Amino acid sequence: MDRAFLEQLGLEVSGAEGIVEAELELISGRALNPLSRREIDRISFTVMGDRLLYVGPPEFVGAQPINLAFLQPGTRLEDIVVDTLNEHLFQLERRSSELSALGIAPKVDPQTLQLTAELEKPPLRFVIGASRTGQFRVVRAVHDGAELTSASKPLFELSEFFNRAALESYLYALYSDVVGPELGPATLVKTPSDIVRAPTDTSLAFREIYEAFGDAFLPPRSPLEVVADVRVGDQCMRFAVARVQGKTFRGLLAGARGKIWSDRFEIDEFPGIRAFVAELMQVTIDDVEVGP
């Protein structure tokens, strides 16, 4: 990126050994850390291609890079920086409120403004963290005191989980391939809302619900969960879905060794449990049994 253009944006540019660094002095006084009450008066960047990557202070590290290709020489770069901070603060407030509504205590680091929360589904403990745009991922996973190392786990949308148990069960399912063989298949009931059949519980066939309330309807955001036992040959699995909203559902298929499939889908596009499992497992529909 042309040095003169960067300087026209108000940046102080320096470089060594092919690494271009830039700093921006903030003069408006609008960038404020609300937890430490510290006014942020200087931003540090590194230049990679046509992007400015935030490298300091801690409140900005990890923020969305600034695409220089869309800027003009007269662009007020400070306005973009302040907007970036304000968007992050908005996400902090929104996601902290959502965590609290789920019965989960949010924690915000006063220096980095990083939002995290701790959850547990024995023998696993989790620390989840929110990105600057509000998407969550697993930051740490611990199994009986030992840190788990695994491939990067996907981002997930917090609003898809309507209680704490649902989120904990989802996180557990992500790591069930690690702990599954030790726990045995009886404990691997992993549904979006942690449905576990206690001895005193009585399962209810969905057919009975339809026969009783078939003329009614579900409100747009009313929760609904469905669980089915599935067998393909000698392999026993648990199929579970939880409604996100409207006709959107999140599904999970898990066996003795853990998660086989999980994803979101629209009910209008779902072919039925037997047909779906048959296609997923690459068997004929007659090879799939659903029920006791």
Same domain, 176 and 78: no
Residue 149 in any domain: the answer is yes
- Look at residue 194 and tell me whether its pLDDT is greater than 80: no
Cα distance between residue 147 and residue 217, in whole Å: 46
Structure tokens at 198: 């206690």
Non-local (6+) Cβ contacts of 241 within 8 A are 192, 225, 226, 249, 250, 251, 252
pLDDT given for residue 132 in this prediction: 85
Same domain, 61 and 121: no
Same domain, 123 and 222: yes
Same domain, 65 and 118: no
Give the bridge partners for 99, in sequence order.
none
Cβ atoms of residues 238 and 192 within 8 Å:
no
Helices marked H in 151-272 — which ranges? 164-174, 176-183, 206-213
- The model's pLDDT over 53-77, given as tens digits with 9 standing for 90+, comes to 999 999 998 888 999 888 887 788 9
Q: In the predicted model, what is the mean pLDDT of the chain?
A: 82
Residue 104 in any domain: the answer is no
Same domain, 151 and 276: yes
Cβ atoms of residues 43 and 61 within 8 Å:
no
Question: Of the candidates 29, 77, 81, which has an alpha carbon nearest to the alpha carbon of residue 59?
Answer: 81
Residue 71 in any domain: the answer is yes
pTM above 0.75, yes or no: no
Domain region containing 85: 3-98
- Look at residue 265 and tell me whether its pLDDT is greater than 80: yes
Burial class (CB in 10 A: 0-12, 13-18, 19+), 31: buried
pLDDT given for residue 149 in this prediction: 61
Same domain, 241 and 122: yes
- The model's pLDDT over 209-263, given as tens digits with 9 standing for 90+, comes to 888 888 888 777 666 778 888 999 888 888 888 777 788 888 888 876 667 888 8
Same domain, 119 and 77: no
- Look at residue 268 and tell me whether its pLDDT is greater than 50: yes
pLDDT given for residue 32 in this prediction: 93
Same domain, 82 and 125: no
pLDDT given for residue 109 in this prediction: 94
Higher pLDDT, 111 or 209: 111
Higher pLDDT, 127 or 188: 127
Same domain, 55 and 165: no
Give the bridge partners for 124, in sequence order.
121, 143
Residue 165 in any domain: the answer is yes
Tally of CB atoms within 10 A around 9: 21
pLDDT given for residue 177 in this prediction: 64
